Amino acid sequence: MSAPVNRIVIVGAGHGGTQAALSLRQLGFEGEIIMIGREVEPTYERHPLSREYFAGDKPFEHLYIRPQEFWEDRRVTLKLDVWVVRVDVQRRAVGLDNGEAITFDALVWAAGGKQIPSAQSLPNEYRGPHSRSVKPPREDRT
């Protein structure tokens, strides 16, 4: 029999982490949710950054995916401006860069991703089999 899930920790407070928290509540999860992000601001929309915020057409507060009170109402604890530097699977805990450790019953990893540079964009010395596309060019496929 699986152990009860009382506390879910979400690492990443971007669109992915936010949607995970929203969906958990929508699906009726009543336990504790802690969402951790390294940015200072609560979760915000990325795409209007360049077109509206930097152009001066929208204040930053209008970019929040949900206002601060929303997360309080839904009992989602935001822990912002901290890095998760360690995941201890045995103890079921994440370690933060401020020395704090937070235990979890379930962990959602929603920390985004980085673009992998294409082989063409790498300097010559880094090009090789390890940096080739997974799919060969069409004429080489069988």
Ligand X SMILES: Cc1cc2nc3c(=O)[nH]c(=O)nc-3n(C[C@H](O)[C@H](O)[C@H](O)COP(=O)(O)OP(=O)(O)OC[C@H]3O[C@@H](n4cnc5c(N)ncnc54)[C@H](O)[C@@H]3O)c2cc1C
Contact residues toward ligand X (CB under 6 A) are 11-17, 36-39, 46-47, 49-50, 83-84, 110-112
Cα separation of 60 and 123, whole Å? 38
Tell me the residue nearest to ligand X as measured from the CB: 14
The answer to whether residues 8 and 106 touch, using CB atoms and an 8 Å cutoff, is: yes
Token pair listed for 95: 């370690």
Nearer to ligand X, 112 or 136 (CB): 112
Shortest reach from residue 2's CB to ligand X, in Å: 27
Least Cβ distance, residue 16 to ligand X (angstroms): 3
Residue whose CB is less far from ligand X, 12 or 107: 12
Taking the complex as a whole, the smallest distance from the CB of residue 141 to ligand X amounts, in Å, to 30
Among 66, 7, 16, 57, residue whose Cα is nearest residue 37: 16
Q: Which is nearer to ligand X, 86 or 132 (CB)?
A: 86
Residue-level length of the chain = 142
Residue among 79, 72, 83, 75 at smallest CA distance from 24:
75
Pick the closest to residue 112 from 9, 8, 11 (CA basis).
11
**Closest separation between CB of residue 64 and ligand X, Å?**
13
Q: CA quadruple 29, 35, 41, 47: dihedral positive or negative? A: negative
**Is the Cβ of residue 65 or residue 119 nearer to ligand X in the bound state?**
65
